[in-house]
Amino acid sequence: MEYQKPAQARELPGLRIALTVGLPAPWSMAARFMFDVKQIPYVPVEQLPGQPNEELLAWTGHRNAPVVVLNDEPPRTNWADIIELAERINPEPALVPQDPEDRIRMFGLSNEICGAGGLTWTARHLMLAPGLKSDNAAVLASSRTMANAYGYSDSAAAAAPRRVAQILGILENQLQQQEARGSQYFIGDGLTALDLIWASFSNTLRPLPEDVNPMNAGMRKVYQRTGDAFKPPEILFTQRDYIYEKYLGMPLDF
């Protein structure tokens, strides 16, 4: 993927999305998938992991990704706000169910995956623990920065396994119910934002193979180790692979 520098992108009209460069960062990938499946064109903007990203901060007020900017509208960073924007720009294909109960379920389950205190947020408490004990100064500094961002504490890390297992069980139950009624999707009979969110965030527990997901080897090891510790239900990855094959395509480009 070819990225624009933030200083250049801020002068452009239209839709611009700051995305993490060089990693299948789950929040970034989920954001871009919303626009990709709707075939909404956008300018990818460089956000470098672990860097100050001063140009991006000066423009948007945010150092991290994703940041979505449409024309002169305020920057959006919240996953639900990003979905709303994608729906507004191009209502089809709809990624938010019309049925109120389905809509509530979709947003609720999505929050369990990507919201603060959700699946990946909580799992990162476990991912960070080894780095916080590292003798490598750079690793230690990076881990401390991440720990502050995710509210790490010994008690949070101790509670993380139960919380992650709980969320995985909820997702498994939802897919089992859907499978029983003949659907391969989390909600209803078609693609929703929840399917795209899980497709992205599932890589933090079982990364797609190297030939279609050429990510950093160290990060792959961390993600795989975390997934191995929780042994997520296989139905979650069967469904994930179906979504990639039918809607997203591979190899991933980041």
Angle of helix 119-131 relative to helix 100-114, nearest 10 degrees, comes to 0
Confirm whether 254 is domain-assigned.
no
Residue appearing with tokens 């239209």: 14
Distant-in-sequence, close-in-space partners of 46: CB < 8 Å, separation ≥ 6 = 3, 4, 5, 6, 18, 19, 21, 56
pLDDT at residue number 105: 99
Amino acid at the residue 244: Y
pLDDT at residue number 158: 84
Helix (H, G, I), strand (E, B) or coil at 77: coil
Nearest to 74 by CA among 59, 89, 64, 56: 59
pLDDT at residue number 131: 66
Confirm whether 95 is domain-assigned.
no
- Looking at 58, 89, 120, the residue that finishes a domain is 89
User: Cα 218 to chain center, whole Å?
Assistant: 19
Indicate if 61 and 123 belong to the same structural domain. Answer: no
Indicate if 19 and 122 belong to the same structural domain. Answer: no
Confirm whether 146 is domain-assigned.
yes
Domain count, the chain: 2
Domain that holds residue 182: 100-248
pLDDT at residue number 3: 98
Token pair, residue 215, equals 């990510």
pLDDT at residue number 72: 97
Indicate if 240 and 127 belong to the same structural domain. Answer: yes
Phi, psi of 219 (to 5 degrees): -65, -40
Distant-in-sequence, close-in-space partners of 93: CB < 8 Å, separation ≥ 6 = 37, 38, 190, 191
Indicate if 83 and 104 belong to the same structural domain. Answer: no
- Looking at 27, 60, 89, the residue that finishes a domain is 89
Indicate if 85 and 106 belong to the same structural domain. Answer: no
Confirm whether 28 is domain-assigned.
yes
Confirm whether 1 is domain-assigned.
no
CA atoms within 13 A on the CB side of 109: 25
The enclosing domain of 77 has a CATH number of 3.40.30.10
pLDDT at residue number 218: 86
- From first to last of the 254 residues of the chain, give the pLDDT tens digit: 999 999 999 999 999 999 999 999 999 999 999 999 999 999 999 999 888 999 999 999 999 999 999 999 999 999 999 999 999 999 999 999 999 999 999 999 999 999 999 999 998 877 776 666 677 777 667 767 776 777 777 877 888 899 999 999 999 999 999 999 999 999 999 999 999 999 999 999 999 999 999 999 988 998 999 999 889 999 999 999 999 999 999 999 99
Token pair, residue 177, equals 């119910």
Indicate if 27 and 152 belong to the same structural domain. Answer: no
- Looking at 57, 89, 121, the residue that finishes a domain is 89
